Amino acid sequence: MAFWKRLWRLEIPNKIKLFLWRAASDILPIAVNLFTRKVIPSPLCSKCGKEGVSTMHALWQCNGNKQFWPFFRFGIG
């Protein structure tokens, strides 16, 4: 509960707060979630081909996405 209060009090754009909330709630439109809802035919990661892509994989673990994170700076720590 304290995490959510802290998240909503951050002085960052609301769209970033909403993204973080969706990521923490595991409701981002990632391959596994879209496959479960029959939106896409395969749960494979489009960057690395790994099967069963989770939110953690999509945001942090996929080598195809790691190249973008150095460009972002969030004061969340």
Q: What is the pLDDT of residues 60-76, one digit of tens each?
A: 788 777 776 666 665 44
Do 47 and 61 touch, CB atoms closer than 8 A?
no
How does pLDDT run across 10-64, given as a tens digit for each residue? 888 999 889 888 988 888 888 888 888 999 998 888 878 776 677 888 777 887 7
User: Residue 60 and residue 11: Cα distance in Å, rounded?
Assistant: 23
Three-state DSSP state, 11: coil
Structural contact between residues 73 and 41, judged by C-beta atoms closer than 8 angstroms: no
10 Å Cβ neighbour count for 31? 22
Residue 51 contacts residue 59 (beta carbons within 8 Å): no
| pLDDT value at 77 more than 50 | no
